[in-house]
Amino acid sequence: KQEVTQIPAALSVPEGENLVLNCSFTDSAIYNLQWFRQDPGKGLTSLLLIQSSQREQTSGRLNASLDKSSGRSTLYIAASQPGDSATYLCAAGGSNYKLTFGKGTLLTVNP
Amino acid sequence: ETGVTQTPRHLVMGMTNKKSLKCEQHLGHNAMYWYKQSAKKPLELMFVYSLEERVENNSVPSRFSPECPNSSHLFLHLHTLQPEDSALYLCASSQARGTVQRRKLFFGSGTQLSVL
């Protein structure tokens, strides 16, 4: 059974700092690894999807990497802004529509 | 506007009530999902419909009953719920065909359910 762990559970940084969020998964037989953002009381917004054959994906200030063999993914946020404050979730995509989520990292960027 | 709309946004119900959650997607997708998000727990997949056929049912209690009348609409019928069923219920959609590796999910804003 796939298990996804995110570290740290919470992170508070000053504005402008570069930061890294970590995600690990126990079963390397994944189809993709997805990163989402969730604002309080809201649904999830897809940020990046890395296919199993890829090593990384970039969108603006966000860069996500995937190392299937070690069961790890990282989300790098450059030059953080207060608007980046949210919960970031990673999810490992398996067969039969299964997407296994971690508990998330609560990010606070202070002005 | 995410393209996936859920109603109602908030719902309070007693344990003997019957209610339904509604989800509608305007993205041309043909797979729809129900997820449950409880405090301090990861999102849990409840049901998946692909091409209007249920393809996933994650040992969900029978007091939750999904319905997918067409590829754009998904319902979750609720009956005699328990207080521990209080959670945020999220609907999502994706393409069913094509490469699994590229299957990206699009979520609605959720229904915050409180069972008294």
One pLDDT digit (tens) per residue for chain B, 116 residues:
459 999 999 999 988 889 999 999 999 999 999 999 998 899 999 999 988 788 777 789 999 999 999 999 999 999 999 999 999 999 999 987 777 777 889 999 999 999 99
* Number of Cβ pairs < 8 A linking chain A and chain B: 70
Contact B15, B80 (CB under 8 A): yes
Give the residue from A21, A8, A32 showing the smallest Cα distance to A84: A21
Polymer length of chain A = 111
Q: How far is A56 from chain B (nearest CA, A)?
A: 14
**Chain B residues touching residue A93 (CB < 8 angstroms):** 100-101, 103
How far is the CA of A84 from the CAs of A59, A87, A98, B38, in angstroms?
14, 9, 28, 23
What six digits make up the tokens of B67?
Answer: 């319905």
**Chain B residues touching residue A4 (CB < 8 angstroms):** 42
A103 at interface of B, judged by CB pairs closer than 8 A: yes
B87/A32 Cα distance (integer angstroms) = 27
What mean pLDDT is predicted for residues A59-87?
96
**How confident is the model over A21-47, as pLDDT tens digits?**
999 999 999 999 999 999 988 889 999
